[in-house]
Amino acid sequence: MPGPVTEESLKRKRSKASGKSLEKVSKRAKAETRDSSEEDPQAEILELENAILESKKNYNNITTLLELAQKDGNHESTQLAMVSLCRVFLRLLASGNLARRDGQSEKDIVVVQWLKKRLGDYKQIILSALGQEESASTALTLAMRVLQAEGRHMNDSDESNFPKVFLRDIVGALVRDGSEDVRQEFCEKFLGEFADVRFYTFKALKDILSRDHSTSPDEKLFDSVFDILSFFEEVPGAEDMDEFYIDAPKKKSDPVKSLNQHKKQAQEAWLALLNLEPNREQRKKVLQIMTKSIAPWFTKPELLMDFLTDSYNSGGATSLLALSGVFYLIQERNLDYPSFYRKLYSLLDANILHSKHRSRFFRLLDTFLSSTHLPAVLVASFIKRITRLCLNAPPAAIVVVIPWIYNLFKKHPLCTFMMHRVPRTPEEKEALENEGMEDPFIADEEDPMETCAIDSCLWEVVQLQSHYHPNVATIAKIISEQFTKQSYNLEDFLDHSYSSVSPIRRYSSMRNSLSRSRRPLLWSS
């Protein structure tokens, strides 16, 4: 016969039943979560991330996320895993879980070492992602965030602790495998904005180039490094030295705060790049920005002397582009280049007036011959040679040469004898009428001081006054007229092509402004 059922026994039975039902519900919920996570990678990744941050027992989930970040075929999951790992490591760095401290147990030290290795694995993943176009931008952002967190939280001392090695790895990945777009993004967001990133990037580039020079240099590396170094059109000022990506160094004497030290590092990086022995096209790229974007970084511009003189002596368009750099050294550092004008004279060949660098050349030539201390014999050689070249030059080049000659005559009056020569004796007059006269100019002479151009005349200009192009014929006549104008602004005549010369009306107006009494030109009887 059963005994009486007490209220306590009923409560126990109800609690057991409710416990079993709750256990079933939780198992069902876990199963549903597992099923949903298998269908939704994002949910699985977030679940793994949250578990890591909740307890140290779940640190092994980091390995799972690393595997997901390296999986091929699912770009979205890979990106999500990379971003999730970044959040995890940023939290761990900020909380000090990756730093060794006094009093830690041996077990804690092993955990710290294990976490550092996993952080190293993660860095390698994002570095390799910098070479993949679809993930490069995200990888750059993640890499720079990890770098910033390391610099702020992995240092126990008061001194600056910039993660130089990791930045060098980032820069190395950008110049070796990165696209032009991601390099530009790095320059705009970090290199141009923060003094510490700029300083250590210059240092990293020097190390990368020095190491590569000892093996086998490749063209892609030169072009990639050039993209980064040439980002700066001018040297940053003192006001650009106050922004730091990681906390500002506390030492006043820290080189990161010194503009002069920045210049020194940039100088070393540029020299390392030039030591890669660039090819002809790469050399031209460097020379085009030499005086504006490269030389100002050099605390010792004379270190560019070998590169510039080699380029200047190489001939052709390379010599032309090297002109401004060589002249910069002559002007700023008193470079001794005795044969400068002889080499400059040699550049006046049949191709110079057809070159795409023609305007650049005339701007420089105008500067080089502007000094009134130059010998008239030297200036006369340049005038004579370039007018001779005009006989086979395009109209767009001739309309630059004539005003340029006009300006030189105004600056060097002793050369005006070339415009007007008459026979001095009856015998000379008779010989001129019967036999003509041989031009004393020695066209093949390489030394502009020995061409006898000063004894010649500009008969070539007379030929140009009958040129088929009306604008050329009009402007050539200014040499035959009175020199009432002080000088012409060459910028009004540069940068024209054949098609742009035709519709120009400014030369027609010149005919009215200069149509005054004509005077005899050249040899006359």
Share of the chain above pLDDT 70, in %: 84
- Say whether 360 sits in a helix, a strand or coil: helix
Residue 165 corresponds to which amino acid?
V
* Residue 268, both tokens: 């070393």
Q: What is the dihedral sign for C-alpha 325, 327, 329, 332? A: negative
CB proximity list for 214: less than 8 A, separation 6 or greater: none
What is the per-residue pLDDT for 495?
Answer: 66
* Residue 506, both tokens: 């400014």
* Residue 82, both tokens: 């990379």
Question: Which segments of 130-242 are extended strands (E)?
Answer: none
Eight-state DSSP code of residue 292? I
Give the per-residue SS3 of 1-15: CCCCCCHHHHHHHHH
Residue 438, pLDDT above cutoff 80:
yes
Place of tokens 């000088």: 487
Q: Are 248 and 197 in contact (CB under 8 A)?
A: no
Burial label for 459, CB within 10 Å (0-12, 13-18, 19+), is middle
What is the per-residue pLDDT for 1?
Answer: 42
What is the per-residue pLDDT for 519?
Answer: 37
Q: Which helix (H) or strand (E) holds 522?
A: strand 522-523
pLDDT classification of 436: cutoffs 50, 70, 90: confident
User: Phi/psi zone of residue 522: left (φ > 0), alpha (ψ -120 to 50 degrees), beta?
Assistant: left
- How much is the average pLDDT of 500-516? 44
pLDDT classification of 38: cutoffs 50, 70, 90: low
256 vs 37, residue with greater confidence: 256
Tens digits of per-residue pLDDT, 88-97? Answer: 999 999 988 8
pLDDT classification of 518: cutoffs 50, 70, 90: very low
CA separation for the pair 66, 122 (Å, rounded): 7
Burial label for 39, CB within 10 Å (0-12, 13-18, 19+), is exposed
- How much is the average pLDDT of 126-140? 93
CA separation for the pair 410, 456 (Å, rounded): 18
pLDDT classification of 33: cutoffs 50, 70, 90: very low
Q: Are 212 and 224 in contact (CB under 8 A)?
A: no
CA separation for the pair 372, 391 (Å, rounded): 28
Q: Give the CA angle between residues 68, 70, 74 to the nearest 5°.
A: 70
- φ, ψ dihedrals at 522, nearest 5°: 65, -160
* Residue 16, both tokens: 């057991």
- How much is the average pLDDT of 111-130? 93
* Residue 331, both tokens: 């002007």
CA separation for the pair 186, 147 (Å, rounded): 14
What is the per-residue pLDDT for 160?
Answer: 65
Tally of CB atoms within 10 A around 28: 10
- φ, ψ dihedrals at 523, nearest 5°: -70, 130
- Say whether 429 sits in a helix, a strand or coil: helix
What global pTM score does this model have? Answer: 0.77
What is the per-residue pLDDT for 504?
Answer: 45
- Say whether 225 sits in a helix, a strand or coil: helix
Tens digits of per-residue pLDDT, 246-301? Answer: 988 888 888 999 999 999 999 999 999 999 889 999 999 999 999 889 999 999 98
CB proximity list for 14: less than 8 A, separation 6 or greater: none
Tens digits of per-residue pLDDT, 329-354? Answer: 888 777 777 788 998 999 898 888 88
Residue 381, pLDDT above cutoff 60:
yes
CA separation for the pair 63, 69 (Å, rounded): 10
DSSP 164-223: HHHHHHHHHHHHHT--HHHHHHHIIIIITT-HHHHHHHHHHHHHHHHHHHTS---HHHHH
Q: What are the residue ranges of helices labelled H in 299-443? A: 305-313, 316-333, 340-346, 358-368, 376-389, 395-411, 426-435
Tens digits of per-residue pLDDT, 137-178? Answer: 999 999 999 999 998 887 655 556 899 999 999 999 999 999
User: Phi/psi zone of residue 381: left (φ > 0), alpha (ψ -120 to 50 degrees), beta?
Assistant: alpha
- φ, ψ dihedrals at 37, nearest 5°: -70, -35
- How much is the average pLDDT of 33-61? 78
CA separation for the pair 122, 84 (Å, rounded): 11
- How much is the average pLDDT of 360-365? 88
12 vs 296, residue with greater confidence: 296
Q: Are 406 and 487 in contact (CB under 8 A)?
A: yes
Half-sphere exposure of 524 (CA within 13 A, CB side): 10
pLDDT classification of 507: cutoffs 50, 70, 90: very low
Q: Are 255 and 200 in contact (CB under 8 A)?
A: no
Q: Are 302 and 335 in contact (CB under 8 A)?
A: yes
Q: Are 240 and 195 in contact (CB under 8 A)?
A: yes
CB proximity list for 87: less than 8 A, separation 6 or greater: 49
